[in-house]
């Protein structure tokens, strides 16, 4: 059955984009299920408080464990992987997206940057896998935008979501390299031409050119990715690029 995704947040309206365009159509087609929940529905006080001052002092507020505990008790099930976006998390990469696309149920807990009381993740880890992940080395106001990014990265890998499934294999990172430049008509635009090899019809040459462009771009923009390539990824020809 389709991957089920639930998002718990104090800004449910932030997740509306999941209902639009490609993702919205995939949901309508039953290729994945998405539920969005307002964390405040699990508060019991008149102020619907979800955070409090941090023990030990310091700036900002920390999200209360009781509210999160009750929300997760209701939303998580026996096949749930809990994902908590945070700048302090392990890197979320294309590999992570591929793993998540094979899950049955993902629950995303959107916290403020100051964080959720750590005991919420400790308690959840007693009965399900819990991933604290970061989408990049920068700080957002909350986890919602990170969830939008991760859900999009995962959903596009699900069967039937992308019109042209091959592109999921060919996009950046699938072979560990960055994707090279792309071109379309017109052949000359503002005096700029399309590399002639792409119009040669010689697909062996075209593939070779594209690989060289990927290697060069990766070398210049992300040399760290070259370090991480699995052994044997680069042949003699590649090393000359």
| 88 binds ligand JBN per the rule CB under 6 A | no
- Rank residues 150 and 215 by Cβ distance to ligand JBN and give the closer one: 150
Task: Check: CB of residue 35 under 8 Å from CB of residue 7.
Answer: yes
- Rank residues 43 and 86 by Cβ distance to ligand JBN and give the closer one: 86
- Rank residues 26 and 142 by Cβ distance to ligand JBN and give the closer one: 142
Pair of tokens at residue 94: 């294309």
Cα separation, 114 vs 65, in Å, equals: 14
Binder of ligand JBN out of 24, 69, 87, 180 (CB under 6 A): 87
Residue 87 annotated among the catalytic residues of the structure = yes
Residue 123 annotated among the catalytic residues of the structure = no
To the nearest whole angstrom, how small is the minimum distance from the Cβ of residue 88 to ligand JBN?
A: 9
To the nearest whole angstrom, how small is the minimum distance from the Cβ of residue 153 to ligand JBN?
A: 12
Residue 171 annotated among the catalytic residues of the structure = yes
Cα separation, 7 vs 80, in Å, equals: 12
Site string for ligand JBN, 120-159 (x = CB under 6 A): --------------xxx-xxx--x--x-------------
Task: Check: CB of residue 215 under 8 Å from CB of residue 177.
Answer: yes
Reduce the DSSP state of residue 30 to 3 states and report it: coil
Phi, psi of 227 (to 5 degrees): -60, -30
Question: In sequence order, which residues have a C-beta less than 8 Å from that of residue 154 and are 6 or more positions away?
Answer: 3, 5, 97, 100, 101, 106
Catalytic residue ranges? 87, 114, 156, 171
- The residue ranges that bind ligand JBN (CB under 6 A) are 85-87, 113, 134-136, 138-140, 143, 146
């Amino acid at each position: 059955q389709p991957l089920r995704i639930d998002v718990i947040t104090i800004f449910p309206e932030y997740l509306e984009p999941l209902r639009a365009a490609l993702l919205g159509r995939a949901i309508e087609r039953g290729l994945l299920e998405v539920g969005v929940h307002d964390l405040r529905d699990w508060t019991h006080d008149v102020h619907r408080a979800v955070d409090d001052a941090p023990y030990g002092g310091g700036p900002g507020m920390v999200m209360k464990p009781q509210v999160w505990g009750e929300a997760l008790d209701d939303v998580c099930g026996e096949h749930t992987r809990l994902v908590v976006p945070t700048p302090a998390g392990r890197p979320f990469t294309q590999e992570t997206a591929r793993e998540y696309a094979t899950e049955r149920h993902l629950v995303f807990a959107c916290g403020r940057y100051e964080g959720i009381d750590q005991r919420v993740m400790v308690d959840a880890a007693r009965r399900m896998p819990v991933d604290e992940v970061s989408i990049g080395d920068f700080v957002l106001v909350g986890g919602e935008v990170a969830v939008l990014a991760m859900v999009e990265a995962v959903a596009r890998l699900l069967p039937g979501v992308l019109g042209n499934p091959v592109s999921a294999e060919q996009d950046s990172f699938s072979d560990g390299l960055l994707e090279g430049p792309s071109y379309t008509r017109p052949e000359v635009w503002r005096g700029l031409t399309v590399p002639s090899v792409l119009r040669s019809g010689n697909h062996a040459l075209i593939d070779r050119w594209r690989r060289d462009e990927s290697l060069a771009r990766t070398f210049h923009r992300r040399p760290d990715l070259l370090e991480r390539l699995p052994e044997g990824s680069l042949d003699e020809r590649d090393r000359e690029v």
